[in-house]
Amino acid sequence: MAAPLVLVVLAAVTVRAALYRSSLAVFIAERVEVASPLNSWKRVVEGLALLDLGVSPYSGAVFHETPLIIYLFHFLIEYAELVFMITDVLTAVALYLAIQDFNKVVFKKQKLLIELDKYAPDVAELIQTPMEMHYIPLKVALFYLLNPYTVMSCVAKSTCAINNSVIAFFILATIKGNTVKKKRVLYDFLLSLEIAFLSAVFLALATYQSLYPLTLFAPALLYLLQRQFIPIKLKSKSFWLYTMQYASLYVCSLVVIICLSFFLLNSWDFIPSVYGFILSVPDLTPNIGLFWYFFAEMFEHFSLFFVCVFQINVFFYTIPLAIKLKEHPVFFMFVQLAIISIFKSYPTVGDVALYMAFLPVWSHLYRFLRNIFILSCVLIFCSFLFPVLWHLWIYAGSANSNFYYAITLTFNIGQILLISDYFYAFLRREYYLTHGLHLTRQDGTEAMLVLK
């Protein structure tokens, strides 16, 4: 499988290099859908220039990147294009390897459940075969690398690519956790510590970069518990022990990373500039998210309340989803990633591209998706309408912000409906697997599954 992957990588790199050299690069770099105040390249350059002039880059509300990014780009700023292309390639390779391992896990689990006779007799057509699962990792890498959103994000040199790669490495570390070579260890929990360590480190790094991957703690924990065959009961001692270990690993690595960042500039300035900025949303530049319009028209004394409401909205779906999807943590991770990229305070199309890369993993759900045609049309049309209405609003002056916000709303509704459609299809397939394909009601007529 390496050769097609290499071909895909080469194609992606060519496309990006070609776009870098063309005149479109400047046009794309300044689009608000691609570059938000958190991750635009102009601000990175500005922050580094301020640093060269002897001023802290966090003074003044220009620079909102973490100190590790300062360190990374201080030496690599001349090779920025190369860095971003390599980052994209690394993300794709990480996703490829992760999905490869995930497929093995899925297949093993499926085999186990078939042997245990947990499936109904007539669901043979729903079972995934290795044949069709063979090309899924390649498709995932393809979806990520050649997605127009990713390409635009890379050409704009938005640091969203770095965030995506950290999350991808985190997913790889989590999924690969069980295949670390088992060494001779004395105690069981030491082994589990080894497994979870890299995953916790990458999760801490992802949370440090942008606050929202905090919510990915739950699916990662559920996955690792599943791998350890620890049942998820609230009274189980091993469950709490493992949770405590993972949580403490995660928190400790986060604290270590933050303290290390303090030593870069010898100040804690970066905390209000990065996390305070993400949480309190002071910059209301239009983007593809939902925050800017609301807060632009809101009265001052309500804004604190609504900021809290909007931010809780991002974190809120974790618990119900954890309860519902505790058997399927990787799907939970996908849904959580989607929720983060829809409801975060400054979303860009790079975030959308990350969760869209996972769609081939659930291509077997295709027959249960109800609205996929309409939703894909909505998403494609909205993507094209964004620059049109921006031009009408800002340059031609014949539209106003309501038009652009309408497209934002439609785009986000499209994304939400996409996720809920996949959610419905997933649950429906699970139900069919255990209860058989032809459901009958009590009086013998054919029944329909409804998501309540």
Partner 1 sequence: VCTSRFWFNYRHVANTLSVYRSVKRLGIPDSHIVLMLADDMACNPRNPKPATVFSHKNMELNVYGDDVEVDYRSYEVTVENFLRVLTGRIPPSTPRSKRLLSDDRSNILIYMTGHGGNGFLKFQDSEEITNVELADAFEQMWQKRRYNELLFIIDTCQGASMYERFYSPNIIALASSQVGEDSLSHQPDLGIGVHLMDRYTFYVLEFLEEIHPASQTNMNDLFQVCPKSLCVSTPGHRTDLFQRDPQNVLITDFFGSVRKVEITTEALSLDKDVAGSESKFPDEELATEPLKYAEQLPVAQIIHQKPKQKDWHPPGGFILGLWALIIMVFFKTYGIKHMKHVF
- Contact (Cβ atoms closer than 8 angstroms) between residue 283 and residue 61: yes
Q: Round to whole Å and give the CA distance between 201 and 216.
A: 13
Q: Smaller CB distance to partner 1: residue 176 or 344?
A: 176
Proportion of the chain in helix, strand, coil states, percent, rounded to 5: 75, 0, 25
Question: What is the DSSP code string of 191-242?
Answer: HHHHHHHHHHHHHHHHHHHSSGGGGGHHHHHHHHHHHTT----TT-HHHHHH
Minimum CB distance to partner 1 smaller for 262 or for 275 = 262
Q: Is 263 in the site for partner 1 (CB under 8 A)?
A: yes
271 lines the binding site for partner 1 (CB under 8 A): no
DSSP for 394-408, written as a single string: III-SS-HHHHHHHH
Are 8 and 138 spatial neighbours (Cβ–Cβ below 8 Å)? yes
- Taking contact as CB under 8 A, which single stretch among the options 131-139, 160-168, 263-271, 388-396 is the one that binds partner 1? 263-271
Query: Smallest gap, in angstroms, from Cβ of residue 194 to partner 1?
Result: 7
Sign of CA dihedral 111, 112, 116, 118: negative
Q: How far apart are CA 369 and CA 9, in angstroms?
A: 30
Cβ proximity to partner 1, 7 vs 180, nearer residue = 180
Binding flag, residue 7, partner 1 (CB under 8 A): no
Cα radius of gyration rounded to whole Å, the chain: 23
- Contact between 266 and partner 1 by CB under 8 A: the answer reads yes
Of 69 and 145, nearer to partner 1 (C-beta) is 69
Given the structure tokens 């001052």, which residue do they identify?
300
Instruction: By CB under 8 A, name the one of 114, 190, 256, 388 that touches partner 1.
Output: 256
**Which residues, listed in sequence order, are joined to residue 446 by a DSSP beta bridge?**
440
Neighbours of 324 (CB within 10 A): 13
- In the complex, the smallest distance separating the C-beta of residue 68 from partner 1, rounded to whole angstroms, is 8
Considering only the stretches 83-91, 232-240, 255-263, 335-343, report the one whose residues sit in contact with partner 1 under the rule CB under 8 A: 255-263
Establish if 452 lies at the interface with partner 1 (CB under 8 A).
Answer: no
**197 makes contact with partner 1 (CB under 8 A):** yes
In the complex with partner 1, which residue's Cβ is closer, 35 or 70?
Answer: 70
* Residue indicated by tokens 């709490």: 240
Judged on CB neighbours under 10 Å (0-12, 13-18, 19+), 15 is: middle
Distance CA 151, CA 144 (A): 9
Q: Decide if residue 51 touches partner 1 (CB under 8 A).
A: yes
If binding is defined by CB under 8 A, does position 181 make contact with partner 1? yes
Contact region with partner 1 (CB under 8 A), list: 20-28, 70-78, 377-385, 439-447: 70-78
> Any contact of residue 194 with partner 1 (CB under 8 A)?
yes
Among 1, 77, 124, 180, binds partner 1 (CB under 8 A): 180
Q: Does 53 bind partner 1 (CB under 8 A)?
A: yes
Identify which of residues 48 and 92 has a Cβ nearer to partner 1 in the complex: 48
Q: Which of 264, 372, 406, 413 binds partner 1 (CB under 8 A)?
A: 264
Nearer CB in complex with partner 1: 70/407: 70
Is residue 333 classed as helix, strand or coil in its secondary structure? helix
Tell me the CA distances in angstroms from 368 to 234, 286, 312, 365, one per residue in order: 33, 36, 31, 6
Establish if 237 lies at the interface with partner 1 (CB under 8 A). no
Size of the site for partner 1 (CB under 8 A): 20
Helices (H), 270-371: 270, 277-280, 291-296, 300-316, 318-324, 329-343, 349-356
Chosen residue from 2, 54, 187, 443 binding partner 1 by CB under 8 A? 54
Q: Does 74 bind partner 1 (CB under 8 A)?
A: yes
Q: Pick one of 32, 98, 152, 201: the residue that binds partner 1 (CB under 8 A).
A: 201
C-alpha–C-alpha distance, residues 243 and 262, integer Å: 28
Closer residue to partner 1 (CB): 1 or 260: 260
Q: Which residues bind partner 1 (CB under 8 A)?
A: 51-54, 68, 70-71, 74, 180-181, 183, 194, 197-198, 201, 256, 260, 263-264, 266
